[in-house]
Structure 1
Amino acid sequence: MTYFKHNVTEEQNKTRLDKVLAEINPERSRSQIQTWISKNHVLVNGEPAKANHKCQTGDEITWSIPEVEPLDIKAEDIPLSIVYEDSDLLVVNKPKGMVVHPSAGHQNGTLVNALLYHCKDLSGINGVERPGIVHRIDKDTSGLLVVAKNDHTHVHLSEQLSNKEIKRKYEAIVHGEITHETGMIDAPIGRDPKDRQKMGIVDNGKPAITHFKVLKHFPDFTHVECQLETGRTHQIRVHMRYIGFPLVGDPKYGQRKTLDADGQALHAKSLAFVHPRTEEWLEFEIDAPVVFQEVLETIRKMY
C-alpha cells in the first residue's frame, strides 16, 4: 500500500478535509475520498478525522489509497439492451423491474450482475457492489443509464453530474390534471423523519430542483416530461407528490387507488453528456416500455 503526505497551505486554512484531498487528488471522486476518510485511511496530525474536519494551516495530512477489492459478485448471463458502447463506457436501457446493483435482498439478477458477464472492465470507484455505476434509477423505473468502464471515465462523468452538465429527461404519468404547461419544483429532499424507508421534503434536506412540462392533458391525469437539475433519491416521485400530483402506480408515494402500472409510471427517456475521452457531445433517447404505453392507452380510452 502506498502512503502520501501533504501539509495544509494558508489558502487551504479552514477548508474541509475532503475538499483539500479532492484538490490534491483531482482524478478521484469526492465520494471515493469520503470513503477513504470513513475507513480511517486518512489521518490529520496522526489522528483519524471526519470528512467535514476544518483543516488548519500546517496540518499534516497523511493518507493511503486502499487496494481495489476483488469483485465477488456473480456474473450472470442476463440480456442487456445496449444503446451505445465503446472502450470507455456503455449506455444501457434498464428494464422496469431490474435493480441496478446488489444490496441486501437483491444479490442476483441486477444490472451489475449482467454487466459483469458482458464486460470484465468496469470502473472500481464505487467499490465491489457498484462497479461502473455512475448514477442510478429505481427498480421499477425504466430507461437510460451510463456505465463507466474505467476510473478516468467514471471521474469525468461524476464531475459532469455534480456540475449539472449531464442532461436527463424523464416522462411520467401523474394523478390529477396539471392545468399549466410548465413548472419548476425547488424543494430540499432528505429522509422522511416519520418513515426512514421514504424520502420527503425536509428543511435540512439536500437541494433538489425538477423542471417539468406537460405532454398531454387528461381530465384526471397528466402525461409529463421532467428534467432533473439535481439527482436526489426518488426525486421526481417525491417532488410530484409534493405539488399534489403523485405518480400513477407508485407504491411508496402514490395514491391507494391507482392504475396498474407495475410500479411507478416513470421512464428515463433521454440522456446527454460529453464523452470523457473524445469530448464529443452524445445524446440518446429511448421509447417508454410497453407497460407505460398501455397505461397511457387505458387513460385515453377513459375519455
Structure 2
Amino acid sequence: MPAIDKTIATPYATIRVRETAGYGLPLLMIHGAGASKEVFDKQINTALGEMYRVIAIDLPGHGESSNAVDPAGTYSFGGFAKVVSEVLDELSVNKVAVYGWSLGGHIGIELLATDPRVVGLMLTGAPPVNRGPIGLLRGFQMHRDMLLASKEHFSDEDIARFTRLCFRDSEPPAGFIENVRRTDGHARTGVFKATMKGLDSDQKRVVERSPVPIAMVDGEFEPVARLSYVGNLAYQNLWSGKVNVIGGAGHAPFWEKPDHFNVLLHRFMGDMAVCARPRSGCGSDNRRAS
C-alpha cells in the first residue's frame, strides 16, 4: 500500500507529512537542511514501511511545508523539535523511534531531551556537541563548504556545492536541487546563530547520558561530522556496542548505500520495538515532558 501524504496545521507552520500503513512501532524520519521527506524514499517504499508506521515530515521552511510563522522562535534545533512534538501529538503517537540525518539528527537529540515518547534514536552526520563554538570545532569538520550553513541566499554554485557535500558522486533524489532552492534562507541563518550562541541543549551530554539506545550510523567518507569525535564519546547506551560505519558512503548512507543502511535500520527497529514494551529493561527515563 502506498504511503499517504497529509497536511497538519500547527501554531508554528503548516506541515506536510508522509505516513505508511505499517502497524508496528512508529519511526519518525527527520531530514537534513535543504532536503524534504522524499529523501527517505529508499526506506519508505520498502518492507520497512509495510512493517512499521514510518512518518516523514517536511520541516518548516522546507519542501511542501510553509515557512515558520515566527522564524526567530522556530529556526533552531529546539524550535524545530517543538514542531515535531506537535506533529506527533496530532498523529496520536504514544511511542516513537527517531532517525535523524544531519540537521534532522540534531533535532532528534533535542526531541530526545524533551519528549518522553522517544524510545530510541539513530543519528547520521550529526555529531552531538557541547554548546558554543568550541564544541562545534571539536565535533565538526571545518572546511569551505561548511560555511554554506550560515548563508541566507544560495547562488546556483552554492546549490551545486551543497548537493555534492550531501551526496558525493551519487545522483541526488529527484527534486533535491529544487528543494534546496525553495528552502527558507532564514532557517539556515537561524539555526547557525542559535547554535553559535549555545541556545539549544548540550547535545553531547544528552547523547552520552541517554536513557534509551543511541545508534550511530555514518558513512566512511562523512564530510561533516568528525568520525574520530563520534567514535570516542562516552556513550552509556550505544546501540550494537559500536559506531556503525558504512563503507563507500558519505554524508547520506541511507541514499548512497540503502541496502547496507536498511539492514541496520531494520535491526534497530526490531530492537526498539522490544524497548517500547512495558518493563523492557532498555533503560530508565528521567526526561521532562515537552
**TM-score, normalising length: structure 1:** 0.27
More strand by share: 1
**TM-score, normalising length: structure 2:** 0.28
- The structure number with the bigger radius of gyration is 1
More helix by share: 2
